[in-house]
Structure 1
């Protein structure tokens, strides 16, 4: 051994807990591998230092059941370690052991890459002063989610962030986020991921494209080193500091976690950990040992195997206990409900265990309730403790505002909390996370600017990305200087922003939509670590009126709790009408709709919501206000600042008996 590790003594150790844990005089390492015949521990002098020791673990002394373990007395912080596993190479039986591979500990909380390109686990000092940190614990009814990417938020020079592209950069944006009115930050994957995309190449330069989004996980317990200003050793401390500062501002942190597959891909993919330690346990395998692929990424984790299930639950506990996170969004969550044969289970043990776990049961759980193999469980996800990304909301709202005939009834259902999906004993409207855009697909600006995707830069011949966006370029494909085209786009952006805030359920805003962030028509920029994906904050300054509009939306929703109630509307609370005051044409060719919502708190009164998605004006006869005369709270056709008013200071409409809504516009009236 070299000097820094010369005094390390290896003892038998204990089989639990799994991973590397501090002992009174060193560290205990425990690694699961049922089918390995031998495990070897590699010790390095630091993240980039030389190999200092090779320690074969004797099965008679260092193995209990399926767990290999060793106590490393005197192992210092700052050292690094990795593993090698010997066993059968029999792909038809599911085994792919290769003793030449350097492997990561699946439970490692800090990882990096050594000079040889292989992964290393760091013995990092994880102590952190949380101070008086407390989770905000916003109830679902008060939650407004802002989905963003850690690097993309501040990587652009216009952000002015000192720690651009890092966890610290997110902290620097807190004043902006707080003023915007969001209560929860949903971060795209922060777990360590493969640096490069799965063989994708730039079509112009042939250079490998990066894995910018991070949906190819390598180490589930470790923050991504690229997001740390101080590198891998400081990654978890910087992540914790970000969470602490967000909590101080009253903002929760929700992590997007990828438990459905790993970066190891199919049979020809790289080996980082799981394949090399026990391929037959960790992955769903078909006849002949081939990988079942329900994710479109080459493999599928065997989520409901007891060993894998424990790993995933331990991972969530790790982020809650040690990272103080407030919730999780589960990518392709339907995979979490598949059994060993790939079939969807009626009562998946993993989902129930997460929902009932004593550490996890009070955090926010959000499912992307579908996968890439045809499962679509929106409204039918197996456990009521989970909220869902409501893809039907997204599509119906987009189609309504695009002007697709017959969408009025569907739009009203989404506005009221999607009782067709979450009614009865299914859980109520707060199970629905209402969004119009997300990282998957067009940004809001691009939704009203492009009729088709423009993904050529992704190197897949423009074949990737969502097949159907229900988008509309509103007269010109791409940016336009035509005032008429831009006027329609501005109204549509405001309509699509306003709708989730006027709907029962939990509104989610895609980061940058509040200032018309564009991806230049790219609907799947998973590999674009550049200006296509980065937030150009000059747009926020140029579109300050739109940022103000979104601040007004969060204030409007807060001022009228009836919009966010935990139950569905009763017949006495909401009354629907068409433009002339009679019943709406629920399935007619033009999408025009009005309703009056009665409210008791914070003061008796009501709201009148009017929507005209048609391409011609619509005259609405106004109902009698339930309290004082109507005041205009929101008008997407008005010139800013008249597009949204301050709560309690709404101006009177020109005509208290009737109003004409311009094409593609929303009007909200308030009676107190």
Structure 2
């Protein structure tokens, strides 16, 4: 709480002692005897602070901010005698109402402070707040004890990122946690994540959002803003994710989650949505930015209509100086107050568009974020495309700071693994670090490799469905991705057919083996390690039910896949040559080499379905190390030749996906070998490492 004893009241307004506030202190901040309110608007002609008693919908006071308290476009007032534990607040702005000019001022409209640290009426999931539906801000105090918190500097290419939805992760009764669907519920699963080998979690949106935004009924089911990509307030945590009400210390449970992750060596990234807000288009609500400075915060057409590069009704005007500053302030706030380790930026290409929507070569916002001293230790990950057709995978402005969700990795390897022609060379490029997309100086921190995420099929569904099944979303199955990169392995949907299920398990292991053998950071979606299903729904954004909630009972049923994932992660961590290019190689081999049915033959054609990649270099003790992945994506048995190792060394088969996986299995005895040629069964993968010779296997 800041000391206001040196600031003396100079006026009485609406019965309150007041004085000009601290103009650089955005939002509502508790002082020793007062509350400081500061907000900006370049087009408003007047501004008032509206005060409510806690839980009330009618204000008990409206405090107009005098023109003399305005400097430039900033209103700031210090109001004395307020009990922050008993009040809520918002603003009202006066000015011109002319939608065709982008002006939407209404002096009777309650407007939420974009800098509010907490928002009222959102603490119970799925329950509407009483009254007119307007949002109020709450003033918070910060007494959270971070202890000896020190951020972990995990190299980018060492990251194993686990993307999760806070509610969906534990809301099912099968999770077995005491606080399902909450930050505390995630905390209860940290030992599980640590044993799995995850060292970073990426939380889908945790800024305050209204899950009942655009709620609707379909076939008797309530559909809602479940994912949370329609933000209500960017500085406030989503209070419905807290297991208990946190009046005036909102965010403590999230901070506890971040602190506990830190204690267990796990980084926390936030999925942030600065490309649009939940105010929508011309038919949407006016509750925050629209009522403050609509033409500043949003991209507008000349007729005042909203430009829609986000696909969600509006587009934030990210490179306007005022909006730039807001975004920087927000990111800094979450790093300083919540100690987050990084951010994934939804539809990040919008952040690189100019005020007229044109893509910029050196967007000032992205550059400022890249060089900001407070954000310098953060991982910055871009979803390098938008709904307006801009696709920047491999070309997103980076300043050697921005990484990208590598959508090409996902698409190319999905196609190769299911047997598509003409994909062998692309698959090799993705496994070896996507050098065709990223120059050498960026390869170590540019690519987040993934095959699944919240958008699209789960890993299990990827090999259980040929087409999406989104009928439950209420759009006649027209929503969601239409690309054909999945394969049902011979039967659409759930089946007990042992042959089909055996093939599915093999394909899932193939996918995970390839992912964890690839250079770059890796990411997968929560529950994929135990074959969680969304029943073919590849766009479950509105499904707050068993479609989206993880079914933890599948952990027992699909323990083989879980253990395979756990041990592939451990293998990746053991062999630094997978994660880091050394340029020096080992055993007389280069750092990276490409093979097919014949060792050292790197030529591919449109009909090749067998590839091999070897990484060679020094291990952590300075000893020579080499690892090899051989992939047979063909539907018949094929052989692959591994490079001959120096005298005294041999290849050990650490993983072979054709047979059921169990830790400790001697896979060398389960695969036919003739010299350095190995016979790979249809649609199977081997992962091998060089060891001191123990004998030959046949």
Within 5 A, what are the aligned runs for 1:575-586?
A: 575-581=593-599, 583-586=601-604
Gap change, CA 1:569 and 1:639, over 3 Å in 2: farther
CA contact (8 A) 2:51 2:89 kept: yes
CA contact (8 A) 1:155 1:164 kept: yes
Look up the match of 1:118. 134
Is 1:521 the equivalent of 2:521?
no
TM-score (norm 2): 0.91
Greater mean deviation of Cα atoms: 506-515 or 635-644: 635-644
The one of 464, 478, 483 equivalent to 2:493 is 478
Distance 1:450 1:652 in 2: 30
Within 5 A, what are the aligned runs for 1:338-357?
A: 338-357=353-372
The one of 196, 214, 221 equivalent to 2:228 is 214
The one of 220, 226, 231 equivalent to 2:245 is 231
Is 1:103 the equivalent of 2:111?
yes
CA contact (8 A) 1:422 1:429 kept: no
Look up the match of 1:389. 405
Is 1:671 the equivalent of 2:686?
no
Greater mean deviation of Cα atoms: 483-492 or 74-83: 74-83
Q: What SS is found at the alignment partner of 2:108?
A: coil
Is 1:29 the equivalent of 2:37?
yes
Q: What SS is found at the alignment partner of 1:298?
A: coil
Structure 2 residues without counterparts, runs of 5 or longer: 1-13, 122-128, 692-698
Give the superposition deviation at 1:653.
Answer: 5.9
Look up the match of 1:71. 78
Structure 1 residues without counterparts, runs of 5 or longer: 1-5
Greater mean deviation of Cα atoms: 117-126 or 438-447: 117-126
Greater mean deviation of Cα atoms: 356-365 or 597-606: 597-606
Distance 2:583 2:494 in 1: 40
Within 5 A, what are the aligned runs for 1:312-461?
A: 312-383=327-398, 384-425=400-441, 427-461=442-476
Count of residue pairs the alignment pairs up? 661
Look up the match of 1:539. 554
Within 5 A, what are the aligned runs for 1:488-499?
A: 488-499=503-514
* Residues 9-60 of structure 1, C-alpha deviations (whole Å, 9 max, x = no match): 3322122211112323222110111111111211112244753211122222
Look up the match of 1:137. 153
Look up the match of 1:623. 643
Give the superposition deviation at 1:126.
Answer: 2.5
Give the superposition deviation at 1:232.
Answer: 5.5
CA contact (8 A) 1:431 1:505 kept: yes
Q: What SS is found at the alignment partner of 2:111?
A: coil
Give the superposition deviation at 1:579.
Answer: 1.7
Distance 2:112 2:38 in 1: 12
Is 1:18 the equivalent of 2:10?
no
CA contact (8 A) 1:221 1:315 kept: yes
Gap change, CA 1:568 and 1:477, over 3 Å in 2: farther
Give the superposition deviation at 1:534.
Answer: 0.4
Within 5 A, what are the aligned runs for 1:186-335?
A: 186-198=202-214, 201-205=216-220, 209-231=223-245, 233=247, 234-335=249-350
Gap change, CA 1:53 and 1:451, over 3 Å in 2: same
TM-score (norm 1): 0.95
Within 5 A, what are the aligned runs for 1:41-60?
A: 41-48=49-56, 51-60=59-68
Distance 2:664 2:61 in 1: 68
Gap change, CA 1:15 and 1:581, over 3 Å in 2: closer
Q: What SS is found at the alignment partner of 1:120?
A: coil
Distance 1:9 1:569 in 2: 72
* Residues 323-382 of structure 1, C-alpha deviations (whole Å, 9 max, x = no match): 000000000000000111100011100000001011002200000000000100001011
Distance 2:362 2:467 in 1: 39
Is 1:637 the equivalent of 2:655?
no
CA contact (8 A) 2:610 2:640 kept: no
CA RMSD of superposed structures (Å): 2.1
Give the superposition deviation at 1:97.
Answer: 1.0
Distance 2:38 2:642 in 1: 70
CA contact (8 A) 1:137 1:326 kept: no
Q: What SS is found at the alignment partner of 1:99?
A: strand
Look up the match of 2:182. 166
Give the superposition deviation at 1:587.
Answer: 2.1
